[in-house]
Amino acid sequence: MPLLRLVGITKRFGALTANSDITVAISRGEIHGLLGENGAGKTTLMNIVYGLLQPDEGRIEIDGKPVTIKSPRDALALGVGMVHQHFMLVPDMTVAENVALALGGRRLSRSHIGEVAERIRELSSGYGLELDPADVVENTAVGVRQRVEIVKLLYRGAGLLIMDEPTAALTGPEWQHLSAVLRSLVAAGKSVIFITHKLDELFGVADRCTVLRDGSVVGESVVAETTKSELARQMVGRDVSLRVKHTRRAPGAAVLESRGLSLVDPDGRERLTQIDLNVREHEILGIAGVDGNGQRELVEVLTGMREPSAGEILLGGRRFQKLTPQEYKGSGGAVVPEDRQHTGTVMTMPLADNLLLKDFASPPFSRRGVLNRAAITDHAQALIAEYDIRCPSPAVTMTTLSGGNQQKAVLARELSHHPRVLIAAQPTRGLDVGAIEAVYRRLLEYRDAGGAILLLSIELDEILSLADRIAVMVAGRFKRTIDVDDADTQLLGLLMAGEDAPQPGTPVAG
Ligand SMILES: Nc1ncnc2c1ncn2[C@@H]1O[C@H](COP(=O)(O)OP(=O)(O)OP(=O)(O)O)[C@@H](O)[C@H]1O
Ligand SMILES: [Mg+2]
């Protein structure tokens, strides 16, 4: 008998059917992958199982018995837990305090926290979580925070863990760790539902998988009996290739440069140290590095969100000691920020407005202070078609778009302004394989047309497929800049880990 069975689940949002008559069964002790294009209905379905949404039709059974799940509290009482993409942790509290907080009820007394810490240690060693209850969350890496979210659910006795794109922000080694944790969970009889766009990962851990398309189940497979290309075809309905044709171009003039750029936090921590970079026309400069090595700060300083402590920025022929976001944009700068929900968009505003944020004030969108709705809608409709943003209409708010479609909207807005330079941080995070293929094509087209791109990505394959030169960033410094022809995953991995790999062409001693 399956642990969880969804029978005929249908969920509508107005005229849109996000889930259509979905039937799926999850066994005890299995890792079940849930795949599908951006907007296919994966998160909606899991939000129903976790009690965040109510289905319009269908039923949920646990151990063969029909259940009603009206809230996450109901779900947890039935042994169902969910880890969201955006963690819900208090940064300046310890791991144990965060877990105690999630348990609710009792006051956070020292003795209670002591008990919680003890139980975390047991769970941690049982499942290989490697958590220290005394660590303060803000000082820990993304992978650790994710394991804190997992321990919160295990503490409350979850037997089924739902993970919505758990690896979008993880580096290779962090993913290795997570997959080992998932294996030990299922070895102990627990079950995992794992939403992902990354087929390599799916093949590394999952037993079975279900593919959704346009809200319906279009395939169910035993992972060992299918192939990546078969699954990709099921997802997007055609063949997909992520191998882009990368032809080199002679670079043109430098568009964005920095000299001696440094950033020291108010608490004295050095975030960026003496960064010299230049991004030229017809060129993609990739920045490879483990998350949290200053990439975010570099983007903030280059786009005028933060003032550097030293150094200067040259943009479009002008020299800036400090730059405002308006000056960055005014000088032809565009940015796809890493955190689209906070800095890229206004989530509560309509998609159409988000597709133009920057030129609200100018004709044809506004004349003498009056917005021209028709022009705004036309503009939005053109970008929605061009970038394949899946949505019911330009009038819906950003919050109702699926994660991947929000990302497409930000990219569409930024590139539609024909910028001179684009800073793109994790531009394909959360995108499905078909959408990634389209983004790669677009970035290369932009570069071929003379665009300059600074590409920050934790995906080494992405950097190696797109960049012309690659700078490896470690602890706020550029460790080395290499030509893509001299780079491979292994060399980048070594440099990112802070090791001194041999220079190309230099004989290795011994
Ligand atoms: N609250 C809502 N109101 C209206 N429409 C919604 C709402 N939530 C989701 N949708 C729509 O339902 C569809 C399915 O969205 P969902 O978030 O489940 O997709 P997904 O498969 O998780 O995609 P992604 O891979 O991009 O995360 C999308 O078209 C989305 O726009
Ligand atoms: Mg989703």
Task: Give the model confidence (pLDDT) of 12-33 as tens digits.
Answer: 999 899 999 999 999 999 999 9
Residues 275 and 200 in one domain: no
Asked whether 271 lines ligand 1 (CB < 6 A), one says no
Residue 379 domain-assigned (yes or no): yes
- pLDDT value, residue 344: 66
Residues of the chain with pLDDT under 50: 505-510
- Using alpha carbons, select from 11, 43, 7, 5 the residue that is nearest to residue 160: 5
- DSSP for 136-198 reads BGGGS-HHHHHHHHHHHHHHTT-SEEEEESTTTT--HHHHHHHHHHHHHHHHTT-EEEEE-S-
Both tokens assigned to 485: 């022809």
Residue 197 domain-assigned (yes or no): yes
Residue 365 domain-assigned (yes or no): yes
Residue 244 domain-assigned (yes or no): no
Cα–Cα separations (whole angstroms), residue 42 to 126, 159, 162, 429: 30, 20, 11, 16
Residues 91 and 194 in one domain: yes
Both tokens assigned to 383: 């970008």
Residue 298 domain-assigned (yes or no): yes
Give Cα 473 distance to the centre of its chain.
Answer: 20
Choosing from 236, 262, 281, the residue where a domain stops is 236
Residues 133 and 269 in one domain: no
- pLDDT value, residue 370: 77
Asked whether 401 lines ligand 1 (CB < 6 A), one says yes
In the reported structure, the alpha carbon of residue 460 is separated from the centroid of ligand 2 by a whole-number distance in angstroms of 23
In the reported structure, the alpha carbon of residue 285 is separated from the centroid of ligand 2 by a whole-number distance in angstroms of 30
Residue 243 domain-assigned (yes or no): no
CATH code for the domain of 272:
3.40.50.300
Query: Residue 44 CA: which ligand 1 atom is closest?
Result: 18
In the reported structure, the alpha carbon of residue 85 is separated from the centroid of ligand 2 by a whole-number distance in angstroms of 9
Residues 179 and 266 in one domain: no
Residues 352 and 472 in one domain: yes
Residues 276 and 229 in one domain: no
Query: Which positions ≥6 away from 49 have C-beta within 8 Å?
Result: 4, 6, 60, 69, 75, 80, 82, 162, 193
Residues 197 and 281 in one domain: no
Residues 165 and 89 in one domain: yes
Tally of domains in the chain? 2
- pLDDT value, residue 507: 47
- Pocket test of ligand 1: the residue of 13, 17, 85, 397 to mutate, having most ligand atoms within 8 Å of its CB, is 13
Q: Which residue's CA is the closest to the ligand 1 atom numbered 7?
A: 400
Per DSSP bridges, beta strands 80-83 and 160-164 are: parallel
Parent domain of 413: 254-496
**473 φ, ψ to 5°?**
-105, 125
In the reported structure, the alpha carbon of residue 49 is separated from the centroid of ligand 2 by a whole-number distance in angstroms of 14
Residue 17 domain-assigned (yes or no): yes
Residues 217 and 183 in one domain: yes
Residues 154 and 273 in one domain: no
- pLDDT value, residue 510: 38
- pTM of the predicted structure, to 2 decimals: 0.83
Residues 196 and 271 in one domain: no
Query: Residue 215 CA: which ligand 1 atom is closest?
Result: 14
Residue 108 domain-assigned (yes or no): yes
Residues 67 and 107 in one domain: yes
In the reported structure, the alpha carbon of residue 43 is separated from the centroid of ligand 2 by a whole-number distance in angstroms of 4
Q: 28-49: per-residue pLDDT in tens? A: 999 999 999 999 999 999 999 9
